[in-house]
Structure 1
Amino acid sequence: MQLLIVTGMSGSGKSSVMDVMEDIGFYCIDNIPPKLITQFVDLCRQSESEINKIAVAVDIRTGDMFTEIFRSWQDLKHYSDVDVKVLFIEANHDVLLKRYKETRRKHPLSEKFNGNIHEAINYEWVQLSQLREIADYYIETSNFTASQLKEQVRELFLENSSDSLIIKVMSFGFKYGVSTEADLVFDVRCLPNPHYIDELRNHTGLESCVRDYVMSFEQSQVLFEKMKDLIDYLIPLYVHEGKSQLVLSFGCTGGKHRSITFAELMADHLIENGYKVQKYHRDITKDKKF
């Protein structure tokens, strides 16, 4: 049996995640009291139920009962026939605040803090921080549209990959903020910038003209080889520790040329070595002129 516990900050996109999980065949329960998770799993195990893929959303809406999630998680980890994973969804403070203002929805802790959303978000983060530490999967949705978030979830769970490492290789631009979901961040701003070449400025690292330019320099080639050596060494260590998702981020100034070039090359290298890889170029369309 597969059991996915979906949790995270209110307003970060858990509802969208649960919609996807239901679409791909998981039996979904939203806002379940943590103590009942074990009871429901036991019910499914003891009966002849065909329910073998379950996703439950648990968050601060359960109030004081939320702290029981740790005991339930520990109990379920002892079940040899249940594969328990935790997916943590979050977004940064300003984005969460903006989402609540735009939708005019009440934060679950709004009444506790007399309508002060800032204090509610800060309090919720403190309550959830320990749960974030045990998460097997992590998605930071600050820069995601609803469709992008759903696509990320589909790529994570559409296939049965609970025993394998999923590697997400992404590019980003430092001027739009550092990727907060990354396990490893590589800064390639030290390399020659195609932005200053007129005929390359409006192209991206997905195109051969930019990629060939970036990799035409010896320092680019040496740097990439050293990155490959490091990542090839680290991945088996992460696998040995049971990590389910590894996020590699490559950043340049605008997230369009050097970072995409290195992300694409690294993703191709990992695919050639048999790893399951997701590609995501966070800032490729920023400031795009149509």
Structure 2
Amino acid sequence: MDQTAPSEITRPPVQIMLITGMSGAGKTTALKTLEDMGWEMIDNFPIRLLERLLATPSGAGQEAGSDRIAIGFDTRTRGFNPASVIKSIKKLIDGDNYIVTTLFLDCTDHELERRYNETRRPHPLALDRPAISGIQEERELLAPLKRWADQIIDTSSLNANALSNHMRERFPNEVISGSVITISSFGFARGMPPVADLVFDMRFLNNPHWIEGLREQTGQDAPVGDYISQDPHFAEAYDRILDLLLMLLPRYVAQGKAYVHIAFGCTGGRHRSVYTAERIAKGLHEAGFSPSVAHRNLTSRPIDALEKNTG
């Protein structure tokens, strides 16, 4: 009986989720959610010891080759230094043994101050000063990590339960063999998406909002799709965008990028962006990818004032 020699056994890369961000923004909730999803969770871990941690064998009950480790760290972690953290992470990314994602949890100063006042807990960087002083100091200290992070979640409007649900949706409970691709639609008039790797503005297309019978429908309805697809500029734009994505996505996978978010925007986020996102997702699926689709403003009420000046 032929047997594969141990040296020939190839293990899938270990998934590592590094979670940091503003104190009070929800790091504990995010870590506990991942732990409930089967990740090994470690909080307040000195990143300088990361290589030593990864050299330690998996714990009992964990399958070899399916390791998923969520590691939390922030300004309270001993020896915290953003430049050193980034250097350590880059060393891991350069190898083939790990898929590393850095998640930064952000929140507005006003909301963080409210949370600290509500819980009556002192901010870790302002034990004898107003909370806002520590919040501002920490924001400046963490700026390099926020700029470098793969994923950013703004928790300003999220309670613990909503953040937990958001984590489950954004990070599916499965081992990643390539990039997790999310296609989304949104309305510029209702704000840009907080995190997107690629953003396409579809406001150059004719706007169905101004057509009687289409205003109350969405880009998921056939009459709206027919109207948009008949725009003389749609077919060429669609082909070029799809070709660009088919060129970029394999390169993202090759570089170990775990998550790719592609966003399509129009004015209200109900017609042109929705239809284009659906069409692009279908095109990527036919090419062998498995994107998920999310429509941020699909159920928003159509408002003439939003559409009036921006088309």
Aligned residues: 281
Q: Which residue of 1 aligns with 2:195?
A: 181
Q: Work out which of the residue numbers 105, 108, 114 in structure 1 matches 2:123.
A: 108
Give, as a single letter, the amino acid of the residue that structure 1 aligns with 2:154: T
Q: Work out which of the residue numbers 37, 42, 45 in structure 2 matches 1:29.
A: 42
Deviation at 1:258, TM superposition (A): 0.8
Residue by residue, what CA displacement relative to the aligned partner does 1:52-85 show, whole Å, maximum 9, x if unpaired? 43212111232653555446546766887x5252
* Worse-superposed segment, 177-186 or 70-79: 70-79
Alignment of 1:214-229 (within 5 A): 214-229=228-243
Question: Any stretches of 5+ residues in structure 1 without a counterpart?
Answer: none
Residue by residue, what CA displacement relative to the aligned partner does 1:164-206 show, whole Å, maximum 9, x if unpaired? 1122111111112222311111111111111112322222212
Q: Work out which of the residue numbers 282, 286, 289 in structure 2 matches 1:272.
A: 286
Q: Determine if contact 1:20/1:154 at 8 Å carries over to the other structure.
A: no
Q: Which residue of 2 aligns with 1:263?
A: 277
Flag the 1:116–1:24 CA change in 2: closer, same or farther, 3 A: closer
Q: Which residue of 1 aligns with 2:110?
A: 97
Question: Any stretches of 5+ residues in structure 2 without a counterpart?
Answer: 1-13, 304-311
Give, as a single letter, the amino acid of the residue that structure 1 aligns with 2:252: Y
Would you say 1:231 and 2:245 are equivalent positions?
A: yes
Q: Determine if contact 2:186/2:297 at 8 Å carries over to the other structure.
A: yes
Q: Work out which of the residue numbers 200, 205, 210 in structure 2 matches 1:191.
A: 205
Alignment of 1:142-221 (within 5 A): 145=158, 146-147=161-162, 150-161=165-176, 163-221=177-235
Deviation at 1:155, TM superposition (A): 4.8
- Aligned counterparts of 2:301 and 2:44: Cα–Cα separation in 1: 39
- Aligned counterparts of 1:7 and 1:102: Cα–Cα separation in 2: 18
* Partner SS, residue 142 of structure 2: helix
TM-score using structure 2 length: 0.76
Would you say 1:61 and 2:76 are equivalent positions?
A: yes
> Alpha carbon RMSD of aligned pairs, Å?
3.2
Q: Determine if contact 1:60/1:108 at 8 Å carries over to the other structure.
A: no
* Partner SS, residue 60 of structure 1: coil
- Aligned counterparts of 1:240 and 1:37: Cα–Cα separation in 2: 23
Answer 1 or 2: which has greater helix percent.
1
Q: Determine if contact 1:61/1:108 at 8 Å carries over to the other structure.
A: no
Q: Determine if contact 2:182/2:261 at 8 Å carries over to the other structure.
A: yes
Q: Which residue of 1 aligns with 2:268?
A: 254
* Partner SS, residue 80 of structure 2: helix
Flag the 1:75–1:240 CA change in 2: closer, same or farther, 3 A: closer
- Aligned counterparts of 1:180 and 1:91: Cα–Cα separation in 2: 10
Q: Which residue of 2 aligns with 1:244?
A: 258
- Aligned counterparts of 2:221 and 2:164: Cα–Cα separation in 1: 25
* Partner SS, residue 276 of structure 1: coil
* Partner SS, residue 230 of structure 1: helix
- Aligned counterparts of 1:76 and 1:243: Cα–Cα separation in 2: 13
Would you say 1:87 and 2:102 are equivalent positions?
A: yes
* Worse-superposed segment, 82-91 or 181-190: 82-91
Deviation at 1:25, TM superposition (A): 0.8
Q: Determine if contact 2:183/2:293 at 8 Å carries over to the other structure.
A: yes
Flag the 1:147–1:48 CA change in 2: closer, same or farther, 3 A: closer
Flag the 1:195–1:75 CA change in 2: closer, same or farther, 3 A: closer
Residue by residue, what CA displacement relative to the aligned partner does 1:5-37 show, whole Å, maximum 9, x if unpaired? 212233443333213211211121223343454
Deviation at 1:126, TM superposition (A): 3.1
- Aligned counterparts of 2:229 and 2:250: Cα–Cα separation in 1: 27
Give, as a single letter, the amino acid of the residue that structure 2 aligns with 1:98: E
Provide the identity percentage. 30
